Chains A and B, each alone.
Chain A
Protein backbone atom coordinates (compact mmCIF):
# COMPACT_ATOMS: atom_id res chain seq x y z
CA UNK A 1 0.00 0.00 0.00
CA UNK A 2 1.34 3.37 -1.02
CA UNK A 3 0.25 6.83 0.12
CA UNK A 4 1.25 9.81 -1.97
CA UNK A 5 0.54 13.42 -1.15
CA UNK A 6 2.71 15.26 -3.64
CA UNK A 7 2.19 15.90 -7.35
CA UNK A 8 2.45 13.88 -9.60
CA UNK A 9 0.26 11.18 -8.11
CA UNK A 10 -2.83 9.31 -9.25
CA UNK A 11 -4.78 6.15 -8.57
CA UNK A 12 -6.82 3.95 -10.89
CA UNK A 13 -9.17 1.11 -10.03
CA UNK A 14 -12.61 -0.48 -10.40
CA UNK A 15 -13.84 1.12 -7.20
CA UNK A 16 -12.37 4.16 -5.47
CA UNK A 17 -13.39 5.77 -2.21
CA UNK A 18 -13.13 9.56 -2.15
CA UNK A 19 -13.20 11.36 1.17
CA UNK A 20 -13.05 15.13 1.29
CA UNK A 21 -14.69 18.37 2.22
CA UNK A 22 -15.78 19.76 -1.10
CA UNK A 23 -16.63 16.92 -3.46
CA UNK A 24 -18.45 18.16 -6.55
CA UNK A 25 -19.26 17.13 -10.09
CA UNK A 26 -17.40 19.34 -12.54
CA UNK A 27 -17.97 20.05 -16.23
CA UNK A 28 -19.70 17.82 -18.70
CA UNK A 29 -19.20 14.13 -19.50
CA UNK A 30 -16.18 13.10 -21.56
CA UNK A 31 -15.51 10.39 -24.09
CA UNK A 32 -12.40 8.31 -23.60
CA UNK A 33 -10.17 7.99 -26.65
CA UNK A 34 -10.10 4.54 -28.33
CA UNK A 35 -13.04 3.04 -26.41
CA UNK A 36 -15.48 5.98 -26.68
CA UNK A 37 -16.62 5.13 -23.16
CA UNK A 38 -18.45 7.99 -21.43
CA UNK A 39 -17.02 9.14 -18.11
CA UNK A 40 -18.05 11.89 -15.70
CA UNK A 41 -15.73 14.32 -14.00
CA UNK A 42 -15.57 15.17 -10.34
CA UNK A 43 -13.34 17.21 -8.08
CA UNK A 44 -12.48 17.31 -4.41
CA UNK A 45 -11.08 20.52 -2.97
CA UNK A 46 -9.77 21.67 0.41
CA UNK A 47 -8.53 18.40 1.90
CA UNK A 48 -9.19 15.13 0.15
CA UNK A 49 -8.16 11.49 0.25
CA UNK A 50 -8.80 8.83 -2.37
CA UNK A 51 -8.21 5.12 -1.87
CA UNK A 52 -8.45 2.15 -4.22
CA UNK A 53 -11.11 -0.22 -2.86
CA UNK A 54 -11.03 -2.65 -5.79
CA UNK A 55 -8.14 -2.72 -8.20
CA UNK A 56 -8.38 -2.98 -11.98
CA UNK A 57 -8.51 -6.43 -13.60
CA UNK A 58 -6.20 -6.77 -15.49
CA UNK A 59 -4.07 -4.36 -13.49
CA UNK A 60 -2.99 -1.76 -16.05
CA UNK A 61 -2.67 1.99 -16.57
CA UNK A 62 -5.37 3.69 -18.57
CA UNK A 63 -4.98 7.36 -17.74
CA UNK A 64 -1.62 8.17 -16.19
CA UNK A 65 1.53 6.10 -16.40
CA UNK A 66 2.45 7.07 -12.83
CA UNK A 67 -0.84 5.89 -11.30
CA UNK A 68 -0.85 3.54 -8.32
CA UNK A 69 -2.88 0.42 -9.06
CA UNK A 70 -2.93 -1.78 -5.93
CA UNK A 71 -5.72 -2.25 -3.42
CA UNK A 72 -5.38 0.26 -0.59
CA UNK A 73 -3.13 2.67 -2.51
CA UNK A 74 -3.98 6.21 -1.57
CA UNK A 75 -3.48 9.80 -2.64
CA UNK A 76 -4.12 12.80 -0.43
CA UNK A 77 -3.92 16.54 -0.99
CA UNK A 78 -5.60 19.90 -1.32
CA UNK A 79 -7.04 19.52 -4.81
CA UNK A 80 -8.04 16.41 -6.69
CA UNK A 81 -9.75 15.72 -9.95
CA UNK A 82 -11.09 12.45 -11.29
CA UNK A 83 -13.21 10.49 -13.71
CA UNK A 84 -15.83 7.84 -13.13
CA UNK A 85 -18.19 5.75 -15.26
CA UNK A 86 -21.05 6.87 -13.05
CA UNK A 87 -22.19 10.40 -12.36
CA UNK A 88 -22.88 11.57 -8.82
CA UNK A 89 -26.52 10.68 -8.34
CA UNK A 90 -29.08 11.56 -5.70
CA UNK A 91 -27.95 10.20 -2.31
CA UNK A 92 -24.52 9.03 -3.52
CA UNK A 93 -22.65 11.60 -1.50
CA UNK A 94 -22.56 10.77 2.23
CA UNK A 95 -22.17 13.68 4.58
CA UNK A 96 -20.92 13.31 8.16
CA UNK A 97 -19.08 10.00 7.81
CA UNK A 98 -15.54 10.22 6.42
CA UNK A 99 -13.33 13.30 6.40
CA UNK A 100 -15.03 14.88 9.39
CA UNK A 101 -13.16 17.73 11.08
CA UNK A 102 -14.04 20.33 13.65
CA UNK A 103 -14.82 22.81 10.88
CA UNK A 104 -16.58 20.53 8.39
CA UNK A 105 -18.84 17.46 8.58
CA UNK A 106 -16.88 15.77 5.80
CA UNK A 107 -18.09 14.08 2.62
CA UNK A 108 -17.60 10.58 1.28
CA UNK A 109 -18.24 9.15 -2.16
CA UNK A 110 -17.60 5.84 -3.86
CA UNK A 111 -16.98 5.82 -7.59
CA UNK A 112 -17.30 2.68 -9.70
CA UNK A 113 -16.41 1.29 -13.09
CA UNK A 114 -13.66 2.97 -15.04
CA UNK A 115 -12.34 5.43 -12.54
CA UNK A 116 -9.27 7.38 -11.60
CA UNK A 117 -8.35 10.22 -9.27
CA UNK A 118 -5.46 12.56 -10.00
CA UNK A 119 -3.77 14.83 -7.48
CA UNK A 120 -3.70 18.42 -8.72
CA UNK A 121 -2.32 20.09 -5.63
CA UNK A 122 -0.79 18.13 -2.78
CA UNK A 123 0.55 18.91 0.63
CA UNK A 124 3.48 17.65 2.58
CA UNK A 125 2.15 15.50 5.37
CA UNK A 126 -1.43 15.32 6.57
CA UNK A 127 -3.23 18.59 7.19
CA UNK A 128 -3.38 19.51 10.85
CA UNK A 129 -6.85 19.81 12.25
CA UNK A 130 -6.74 22.91 14.39
CA UNK A 131 -9.61 23.09 16.82
CA UNK A 132 -10.20 26.53 18.40
CA UNK A 133 -10.00 24.92 21.84
CA UNK A 134 -6.55 23.49 21.06
CA UNK A 135 -5.42 26.89 19.87
CA UNK A 136 -6.55 28.48 23.15
CA UNK A 137 -4.82 25.71 25.14
CA UNK A 138 -1.64 26.29 23.18
CA UNK A 139 -1.48 29.97 24.07
CA UNK A 140 -2.50 29.27 27.68
CA UNK A 141 -5.87 31.04 27.60
CA UNK A 142 -7.86 27.94 28.55
CA UNK A 143 -7.16 25.25 31.08
Chain B
Protein backbone atom coordinates (compact mmCIF):
# COMPACT_ATOMS: atom_id res chain seq x y z
CA UNK B 1 0.00 0.00 0.00
CA UNK B 2 1.35 3.44 -0.84
CA UNK B 3 0.99 6.55 1.33
CA UNK B 4 -2.00 7.80 -0.64
CA UNK B 5 -3.95 4.67 0.31
CA UNK B 6 -4.12 3.39 -3.24
CA UNK B 7 -4.39 -0.27 -3.93
CA UNK B 8 -0.96 -1.76 -4.25
CA UNK B 9 0.01 -5.35 -3.84
CA UNK B 10 3.40 -6.83 -3.35
CA UNK B 11 4.29 -9.65 -5.68
CA UNK B 12 4.42 -13.11 -4.26
CA UNK B 13 8.05 -13.59 -3.15
CA UNK B 14 8.61 -16.91 -4.93
CA UNK B 15 12.30 -17.04 -4.00
CA UNK B 16 11.28 -17.45 -0.35
CA UNK B 17 9.96 -20.92 -1.14
CA UNK B 18 13.24 -21.91 -2.72
CA UNK B 19 15.20 -20.98 0.39
CA UNK B 20 13.06 -22.93 2.86
CA UNK B 21 11.81 -26.44 2.22
CA UNK B 22 10.35 -27.59 5.53
CA UNK B 23 9.20 -26.12 8.78
CA UNK B 24 10.69 -28.19 11.60
CA UNK B 25 10.52 -28.28 15.37
CA UNK B 26 13.92 -28.60 17.08
CA UNK B 27 13.73 -29.94 20.62
CA UNK B 28 16.69 -30.30 22.95
CA UNK B 29 17.06 -33.62 24.75
CA UNK B 30 19.13 -32.83 27.92
CA UNK B 31 19.65 -36.49 28.93
CA UNK B 32 21.37 -37.47 25.74
CA UNK B 33 22.61 -33.92 25.08
CA UNK B 34 21.18 -34.13 21.58
CA UNK B 35 18.52 -32.44 19.48
CA UNK B 36 15.30 -34.00 18.31
CA UNK B 37 14.14 -32.62 14.94
CA UNK B 38 10.54 -33.13 13.86
CA UNK B 39 9.16 -31.89 10.53
CA UNK B 40 5.86 -29.99 10.95
CA UNK B 41 4.80 -29.21 7.41
CA UNK B 42 6.08 -28.26 3.97
CA UNK B 43 6.98 -24.66 3.32
CA UNK B 44 4.36 -24.18 0.64
CA UNK B 45 1.27 -24.47 2.86
CA UNK B 46 2.93 -22.49 5.63
CA UNK B 47 3.91 -19.80 3.18
CA UNK B 48 0.39 -19.52 1.73
CA UNK B 49 -1.18 -19.30 5.17
CA UNK B 50 1.08 -16.41 6.10
CA UNK B 51 0.76 -14.82 2.66
CA UNK B 52 -3.05 -14.85 2.74
CA UNK B 53 -3.03 -13.21 6.17
CA UNK B 54 -0.67 -10.49 4.98
CA UNK B 55 -2.78 -9.95 1.88
CA UNK B 56 -5.99 -9.72 3.89
CA UNK B 57 -4.36 -7.28 6.26
CA UNK B 58 -3.16 -5.21 3.31
CA UNK B 59 -6.60 -5.06 1.64
CA UNK B 60 -8.32 -4.11 4.89
CA UNK B 61 -5.78 -1.34 5.55
CA UNK B 62 -6.35 0.07 2.06
CA UNK B 63 -10.11 -0.11 2.53
CA UNK B 64 -9.93 1.66 5.88
CA UNK B 65 -7.81 4.47 4.44
CA UNK B 66 -10.08 4.94 1.42
CA UNK B 67 -13.27 4.85 3.49
CA UNK B 68 -11.86 7.39 5.93
CA UNK B 69 -11.22 9.77 3.02
CA UNK B 70 -14.75 9.27 1.72
CA UNK B 71 -16.15 9.77 5.23
CA UNK B 72 -14.21 13.02 5.72
CA UNK B 73 -15.40 14.32 2.35
CA UNK B 74 -19.00 13.32 3.12
CA UNK B 75 -18.89 15.30 6.37
CA UNK B 76 -17.96 18.40 4.39
CA UNK B 77 -20.65 17.61 1.82
CA UNK B 78 -23.29 17.31 4.54
CA UNK B 79 -22.17 20.65 5.96
CA UNK B 80 -22.61 22.22 2.53
CA UNK B 81 -26.08 20.69 2.14
CA UNK B 82 -27.00 22.04 5.59
CA UNK B 83 -25.98 25.50 4.48
CA UNK B 84 -22.67 25.85 6.37
CA UNK B 85 -20.77 26.62 3.16
CA UNK B 86 -21.61 28.39 -0.06
CA UNK B 87 -21.27 26.45 -3.32
CA UNK B 88 -17.94 28.10 -4.14
CA UNK B 89 -16.55 27.52 -0.64
CA UNK B 90 -17.49 23.86 -0.82
CA UNK B 91 -15.96 23.50 -4.26
CA UNK B 92 -12.64 24.73 -2.88
CA UNK B 93 -12.83 22.29 0.01
CA UNK B 94 -13.87 19.40 -2.25
CA UNK B 95 -10.89 19.97 -4.52
CA UNK B 96 -8.54 19.25 -1.64
CA UNK B 97 -10.05 15.77 -1.42
CA UNK B 98 -9.70 15.05 -5.14
CA UNK B 99 -7.37 12.20 -6.01
CA UNK B 100 -6.72 10.13 -9.12
CA UNK B 101 -8.65 6.96 -9.73
CA UNK B 102 -6.57 3.83 -9.93
CA UNK B 103 -7.21 1.56 -12.92
CA UNK B 104 -4.16 -0.64 -13.21
CA UNK B 105 -4.79 -3.21 -10.50
CA UNK B 106 -4.09 -6.73 -11.84
CA UNK B 107 -7.45 -8.41 -12.25
CA UNK B 108 -6.65 -11.55 -10.22
CA UNK B 109 -5.62 -9.36 -7.26
CA UNK B 110 -8.73 -7.26 -7.69
CA UNK B 111 -10.78 -10.45 -7.46
CA UNK B 112 -9.01 -11.46 -4.23
CA UNK B 113 -9.54 -8.00 -2.75
CA UNK B 114 -13.25 -8.09 -3.59
CA UNK B 115 -13.60 -11.52 -2.01
CA UNK B 116 -11.89 -10.33 1.18
CA UNK B 117 -14.12 -7.25 1.47
CA UNK B 118 -17.34 -9.13 0.80
CA UNK B 119 -16.45 -11.93 3.22
CA UNK B 120 -15.46 -9.43 5.92
CA UNK B 121 -18.76 -7.57 5.61
CA UNK B 122 -20.62 -10.83 4.99
CA UNK B 123 -22.98 -9.31 2.45
CA UNK B 124 -23.37 -8.72 -1.26
CA UNK B 125 -22.31 -5.30 -2.49
CA UNK B 126 -22.66 -3.75 -5.90
CA UNK B 127 -19.72 -2.62 -8.02
CA UNK B 128 -20.24 1.05 -7.09
CA UNK B 129 -20.09 0.29 -3.37
CA UNK B 130 -16.97 -1.84 -3.80
CA UNK B 131 -15.24 0.89 -5.79
CA UNK B 132 -15.21 3.05 -2.64
CA UNK B 133 -13.12 0.52 -0.75
CA UNK B 134 -10.45 0.17 -3.41
CA UNK B 135 -10.47 3.55 -5.19
CA UNK B 136 -11.10 1.98 -8.59
CA UNK B 137 -13.97 2.78 -10.94
CA UNK B 138 -17.09 0.58 -10.78
CA UNK B 139 -16.91 0.01 -14.53
CA UNK B 140 -13.36 -1.29 -14.09
CA UNK B 141 -14.54 -3.73 -11.44
CA UNK B 142 -17.37 -5.08 -13.59
CA UNK B 143 -15.19 -5.28 -16.73
CA UNK B 144 -12.28 -7.00 -15.03
CA UNK B 145 -14.44 -9.54 -13.27
CA UNK B 146 -16.03 -10.37 -16.61
CA UNK B 147 -12.59 -10.83 -18.17
CA UNK B 148 -11.73 -13.38 -15.52
CA UNK B 149 -14.84 -15.36 -16.44
CA UNK B 150 -16.13 -15.17 -12.90
CA UNK B 151 -19.76 -14.50 -12.31
CA UNK B 152 -20.31 -11.35 -10.25
CA UNK B 153 -21.97 -13.52 -7.58
CA UNK B 154 -18.70 -15.39 -7.04
CA UNK B 155 -17.05 -12.12 -5.97
CA UNK B 156 -20.00 -11.17 -3.82
CA UNK B 157 -21.15 -8.50 -6.29
CA UNK B 158 -24.85 -7.88 -6.62
Enumerate chain A interface residues (CB-CB to B < 8 A): 7-8, 10, 25-33, 38, 40, 43, 45, 64, 79, 81, 87, 89-90, 118, 120-121
A7, A29, A43, A120: the one within 8 Å of B97 (CB)? A29
**Given known contacts A30-B100, A45-B126, A120-B128, is B95 in contact with A81 (CB within 8 Å)?**
no
**In the complex, what's the smallest C-beta–C-beta distance from B38 to chain A, in angstroms?**
52
Q: Kindly state whether residue B47 has any CB partner on chain A within 8 Å.
A: no
Count of A-B contacts judged by CB separation below 8 Å: 72
**In the complex, what's the smallest C-beta–C-beta distance from B124 to chain A, in angstroms?**
13
A8 to B140: give the CA distance in the assembly, Å.
11
Q: Interface extent on B, as a size class?
A: 20 to 34
**In the complex, what's the smallest C-beta–C-beta distance from A72 to chain B, in angstroms?**
22
A33 to B97: give the CA distance in the assembly, Å.
15
Q: Contacts A29-B98, A64-B139 given; 8 further ones with Cβ under 8 A?
A: A25-B77, A27-B132, A31-B101, A38-B94, A81-B127, A87-B77, A118-B138, A120-B128
Which residues of chain A have C-beta atoms less than 8 A from B127's C-beta? 79, 81, 120-121
A38 to B96: give the CA distance in the assembly, Å.
10
**Given known contacts A43-B128, A64-B139, A118-B139, is B98 in contact with A30 (CB within 8 Å)?**
yes
